[in-house]
Amino acid sequence: MPATLESAPVPGSLYKLVVNSPEEAVRTIRDRLGENAKVISVRSLASGGLRSLFSRPQLEVVAQVALPPPPPAPAPVVVDPPAESAAVSASAVPGTRIRGTAPAAPHLPDLLRRGGLSEPMLARLESSREWPVIMGRPLHQSFADVARELRRQHEVRPERPLPARSAFLGSPGSGRTTALCKWLAGEVFRRARMGVVVKAEFDRPNPGEQLAVYCEALGLPVVNHPAPLPELTGNEFLYADLPGLSLRSPAENRAHARFLESENIAGRILVLNAAYDTATLRDGYVAGRDLGATHVVFTHLDEVGQWGKLWDFLLDGELSPLFFSTGPSLTGDCEEDVISAILRKTLPSS
């Protein structure tokens, strides 16, 4: 009969927990089995039949309660069949006791993959000097160590300030104009800066009614290119909203390049829709880089379940992250501390 953890856990015993997420596993192990409990194994449990079409796979986590003295010689592993429908609740932890097994290395990489980290990013972590130490710690401590390592790798990248004259670039559907509006709200309300907004169309439509009304509410003038652009004084800014980029034909973006060069636009902010697949994101990244992009903004993150795929762009890409857009609001839903935001979404307790 499956054992529960309503009473104190027995030192040295192993418990099989069926949980819904890595976060739930870390929280339950820490609260029910103690700070020094170790994870022995982790595997995904897929639901059978029609249920698998509408539910996320659960995790089966085997954890061992810390032993005061060194354990005796291990006996063969005896594992009872897992309870199929069990999920961890506040009142009781469903599980099956497992008799005598030797501790094995925690399956931290499996949990990181479930958080969306790519194989190249995992390889990058595994090549660090700290990795053997990280793998030897209890799971919740390992996650904290991984978070510190990812933050350290980001902090060694040079910080690039945003120039006063900057343009927002992005393919149709990227949320480019909404991202500009969010940034304008931050400039006016939080950083107390004023300036001018430029609307350009070239040979492509770039509807600007929403932007014009929004800028009027903020007290910002809008200049429609090709009208002459004003010179900036003091702490003023100039932000340009350009038509959608072509991801298939770089030649179609020549008008963008001419505008950026002729108007001395030093800051070039690439806006990418994070809900797109990784291949499309890379195509957009290349198109922006070809136009000399300096910064990157990821939008539609409220529609993305796994943010881990963005680590490759944040750590391996050349562009400096400006902010994450996490919702449709024009004056909010904006994360400027992008590293803290992505750590919260990809690593428990970070």
pLDDT tens digits, 229-245: 888 888 999 999 999 99
**Percentage above 70 pLDDT, the chain:** 79
- Categorise residue 49: left if φ over 0, alpha if ψ from -120 to 50, beta otherwise: left
3 CB neighbour count, 10 Å cutoff: 18
What stretch of H or E contains 225?
none
pLDDT in tens, 120-175: 999 989 888 889 888 888 888 888 999 999 999 899 888 899 999 999 999 999 99
Q: Which residue did the predictor score with more confidence, 313 or 330?
A: 313
At 116, the pLDDT band (50, 70, 90 cuts) reads confident
CATH number for 165-346 (one of 1.10.287.370, 1.20.140.10, 3.40.50.300, 3.40.930.10): it is 3.40.50.300
pLDDT in tens, 164-209: 999 999 999 999 999 999 999 999 999 999 999 999 988 777 777 7
Assess whether pLDDT exceeds 60 at residue 82: no
CA distance 247 to 245: 6
User: Which of 105-114, 230-239, 252-261 comes out lowest in average pLDDT?
Assistant: 105-114
State the pLDDT at residue 330. 83
| Greatest extent of the chain over all pairs of C-alpha atoms, in Å | 82
Residue 297 contacts residue 305 (beta carbons within 8 Å) = no
Assess whether pLDDT exceeds 70 at residue 48: no
Q: Which residue did the predictor score with more confidence, 72 or 245?
A: 245
- Categorise residue 157: left if φ over 0, alpha if ψ from -120 to 50, beta otherwise: beta
State the pLDDT at residue 88. 42
Assess whether pLDDT exceeds 70 at residue 55: no
DSSP per residue over 141-154, as a string? HHHHHHHHHHHHHH
User: Which of 52-66, 70-84, 223-237 comes out lowest in average pLDDT?
Assistant: 70-84
Burial of residue 218, with CB atoms counted within 10 A of its CB: 0-12 exposed, 13-18 middle, 19 or more buried:
middle
What stretch of H or E contains 296?
strand 295-299
Model pTM?
A: 0.68
State the pLDDT at residue 141. 87
Residue 166 contacts residue 263 (beta carbons within 8 Å) = no
pLDDT in tens, 265-287: 999 999 999 999 999 999 999 99
